[in-house]
Amino acid sequence: MGNLCGGANQSVSNFGGQVPSVQSKGFKKELKTSNVRFKVSQFAVLNTSKFTDHYEIGDFLGEGGFGSVSECKHKASQQMRAVKLISKEGFTDQMRLDFIHETDILKRLAHQNIITIYEMFEDQAQFYLVTELCKGGDLFEEISRRGNQLFSEGEAAHIMRECLLAINHCHSEKICHRDLKPENILLDTDNRVKLIDFGTAESFDKQQGMEGLIGTAYYIAPEVLNEKGSYSEKCDIWSLGVILYMLLTGIPPFNGRTEDEIFKAIKKGTYAITHLTKRKLSSSGQDLIKKMLTYNSANRCTAGEALNHAWFKENSKITKATLEESSELVANLKTFHESQKLHRIAMSYITSQLANKEEMKNAEKIFRELDVNNDGKIDREELIRGFRPIYGDLCEQEVNKIFRAADLDGSGQIDINEWKAATAGQKGVVTKERLQKAFEFFDKDKSGSISIAELKEALGYKDGLIEESVWENLIKEVDGDSNGEIDFEEFSNMMMLIAENVSSKKA
Same domain, 197 and 335: no
Residues facing 122 on adjacent strands: 127
Q: What is the pLDDT of residue 355?
A: 93
Q: Identify the band that residue 142 occupies on the pLDDT scale cut at 50, 70 and 90.
A: very high
User: Per the domain annotation, does 438 fall within a domain?
Assistant: yes
pLDDT of 15 over the 80 cut: no
pLDDT of 503 over the 60 cut: no
Q: What is the pLDDT of residue 318?
A: 67
Where among 268, 293, 314 does a domain terminate?
Answer: 314
Same domain, 226 and 352: no
For residue 203, the number of C-alpha atoms closer than 13 Å in the C-beta half-sphere is: 8
pLDDT above 70: percentage of residues in the chain = 89
Q: Identify the band that residue 25 occupies on the pLDDT scale cut at 50, 70 and 90.
A: very low
Same domain, 277 and 426: no
Alpha-carbon dihedral of residues 379, 382, 385, 388, nearest 10 degrees? -40
Name the residues annotated as catalytic.
Answer: 179
Q: How far is CA 241 from CA 181, 182, 220, in A?
A: 10, 12, 11
Least confident of 30-44, 129-143, 246-260: 30-44
Encode burial over 383-414: b for 16+ CB neighbours within 10 A, e otherwise. Answer: beebbeeeeeeebeebbebbbebbbbbbeebb
Q: What is the pLDDT of residue 22?
A: 33
User: Per the domain annotation, does 63 fall within a domain?
Assistant: no
Q: Which residues contact 117 (CB under 8 A, 6 or more apart)?
A: 41, 44, 103, 106, 107, 129, 130, 131
Where among 291, 314, 337 does a domain terminate?
Answer: 314
User: Per the domain annotation, does 132 fall within a domain?
Assistant: no
Q: What is the pLDDT of residue 65?
A: 62
Same domain, 299 and 262: yes
Q: Identify the band that residue 104 occupies on the pLDDT scale cut at 50, 70 and 90.
A: very high
pLDDT above 90: percentage of residues in the chain = 64
| Cα end-to-end distance, the chain, whole Å | 58
Q: How many residues does this entry show for the chain?
A: 507
Residues facing 450 on adjacent strands: 486
User: Per the domain annotation, does 100 fall within a domain?
Assistant: no
Q: Identify the band that residue 190 occupies on the pLDDT scale cut at 50, 70 and 90.
A: confident
Highest mean pLDDT among 8-17, 34-43, 492-501: 34-43
Q: Which residues contact 56 (CB under 8 A, 6 or more apart)?
A: 72, 73, 75
The span from the CA of 133 to the CA of 186, in Å, is 10
The stretch 84-92 carries a mean pLDDT of: 89
Where among 314, 339, 356 does a domain terminate?
Answer: 314
Q: Total domain count for the chain?
A: 2
Same domain, 161 and 222: yes
User: Per the domain annotation, does 6 fall within a domain?
Assistant: no
> CATH code at 180?
1.10.510.10
Q: What is the pLDDT of residue 294?
A: 98
Same domain, 276 and 327: no
The whole-chain average pLDDT of the chain stands at 87
Rama region for 147: left / alpha / beta (φ>0; ψ in -120 to 50; rest): left
Residues facing 414 on adjacent strands: 378
Least confident of 344-348, 407-411, 463-467, 489-493: 463-467
User: Which residues line the annotated binding site for ATP?
Assistant: 84
User: Per the domain annotation, does 12 fall within a domain?
Assistant: no
Q: Residues 243-257: pLDDT tens digits?
A: 999 999 999 999 999
Same domain, 292 and 354: no
Q: What is the pLDDT of residue 276?
A: 85
Same domain, 329 and 287: no
Kindly tell me the burial class for residue 287, based on how many C-beta atoms sit within 10 Å of its own C-beta (0-12, 13-18, 19 or more): middle
Same domain, 395 and 283: no
The span from the CA of 184 to the CA of 481, in Å, is 52
Q: What is the pLDDT of residue 63?
A: 82
User: Per the domain annotation, does 83 fall within a domain?
Assistant: no
Same domain, 278 and 406: no
Q: What is the pLDDT of residue 499?
A: 54
> CATH code at 434?
1.10.238.10
The stretch 307-313 carries a mean pLDDT of: 97
pLDDT of 34 over the 50 cut: yes
Q: What is the pLDDT of residue 8?
A: 36
User: Which residues line the annotated binding site?
Assistant: 84
Find the angle CA(322)-CA(358)-CA(404) to the nearest 5 degrees. Answer: 55
Same domain, 250 and 156: yes
Q: Which domain holds residue 166?
A: 139-314
Phi, psi of 164 (to 5 degrees): -65, -35
pLDDT of 7 over the 70 cut: no
Same domain, 501 and 482: yes
Least confident of 26-30, 356-360, 462-466: 26-30
User: Per the domain annotation, does 79 fall within a domain?
Assistant: no
The stretch 298-316 carries a mean pLDDT of: 96
Q: What is the pLDDT of residue 462?
A: 82
pLDDT of 317 over the 80 cut: no
Q: Is the pTM of this model over 0.75?
A: yes
State CA 201 to chain mean position distance: 15
Q: Residues 412-423: pLDDT tens digits?
A: 999 999 999 999
pLDDT of 85 over the 90 cut: yes
